[in-house]
């Protein structure tokens, strides 16, 4: 599937599309030491800038809220081929990111994968604690071939789970087999600034895959 590079706005969402043929993502990390590395605002309310210092360590990017109505969540996303494509084929099953909540009004932080510009995706809550002015690393382990029930048991949610008026998302495994964008998304009230550093995707350790399978099976058995 070929994509043409360009900037899109869909319901407040800002997306940059790069030209690529969907094959598989590449395990790696973006440290943001020199620039924004192609990460762009995720909505029209978000501003993304590069900071040469103050990261974890060295450079990082910051997302800041533009309060011009209508106001949406903020964050940063990438459609770079290194972070897109077929996660199952590439064996990608882990994501990590460093976050610094620079204001004290942030209420949620997520990672989200979407399969297209106009399609909703799946997201995972990174934390329910938002300490200010300190860097913390958040790690998410997953199996890109999970069924929807397995993904939900592990804590993944669709956009419709968050907003009942949102369009349904494709199945979890379908999204992970053709990731279009990877995103860090933050909800907050009022003026907001947050730092993002060391965004990475990886192949999990072999033992982690087995632990995930056992844990998800146990959670599903406990469901009424």
pLDDT value of position 168: 97
pLDDT value of position 18: 36
pLDDT value of position 19: 36
- Number of other CB atoms surrounding residue 59 within 10 Å: 19
Which phi and psi (to 5°) does residue 85 adopt? 105, -155
pLDDT value of position 54: 98
pLDDT value of position 115: 96
Alpha helices by DSSP H, the chain = 87-90, 148-153, 159-162, 172-176, 206-222
Q: 205 to each of 28, 131, 145, 149, 193, how far by Cα in Å?
A: 15, 29, 16, 23, 34
219: CB partners within 8 A, 6+ apart: 153, 154
> pLDDT tens, position by position, for the chain (224 residues)?
222 333 333 345 444 433 333 345 889 999 999 999 999 999 999 999 999 999 999 999 999 999 999 999 999 999 999 999 999 999 999 999 999 999 999 999 999 999 999 999 999 999 999 999 999 999 999 999 999 999 999 999 999 999 999 999 999 999 999 999 999 999 999 999 999 999 999 998 764 444 334 343 343 444 45
Give me the residues paired with residue 165 across strands.
Answer: none
Which phi and psi (to 5°) does residue 174 adopt? -65, -45
Q: Which of 61, 77, 68, 62 has the alpha carbon at shortest distance from 45?
A: 68
pLDDT value of position 217: 39
The full set of domains in the chain, from first to last, is 6-222 (2.60.120.260)
Task: Give the predicted TM-score (pTM) of the model.
Answer: 0.83
């Amino acid at each position: 599937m070929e994509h043409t590079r360009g900037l899109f706005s869909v319901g407040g969402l800002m997306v940059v599309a790069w030209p690529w043929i969907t094959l598989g993502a590449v395990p790696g990390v973006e440290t943001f030491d020199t620039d924004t590395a192609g990460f762009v605002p995720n909505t029209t309310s978000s501003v993304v800038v590069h900071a040469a210092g103050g990261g974890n360590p060295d450079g990082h990017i910051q997302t800041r809220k533009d309060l011009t109505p209508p106001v949406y969540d903020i964050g940063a996303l990438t459609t770079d081929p290194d972070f897109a494509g077929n996660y199952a084929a590439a064996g990608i099953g882990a994501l990590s990111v460093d976050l610094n909540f620079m204001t004290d009004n942030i209420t949620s932080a997520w990672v989200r994968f979407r399969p297209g510009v106009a399609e909703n995706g799946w997201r995972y809550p990174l934390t329910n604690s938002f300490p200010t002015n300190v860097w913390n690393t958040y790690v998410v382990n997953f199996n890109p071939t999970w069924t929807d029930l397995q993904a939900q048991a592990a804590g993944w949610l669709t956009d419709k789970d968050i907003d009942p008026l949102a369009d349904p998302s494709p199945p979890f495994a379908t999204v992970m087999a053709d990731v279009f964008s990877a995103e860090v998304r933050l909800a907050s009230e009022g003026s907001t600034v947050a730092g993002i550093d060391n965004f990475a995707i990886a192949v999990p350790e072999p033992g982690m895959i087995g632990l995930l399978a056992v844990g998800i099976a146990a959670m599903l058995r406990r469901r009424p």
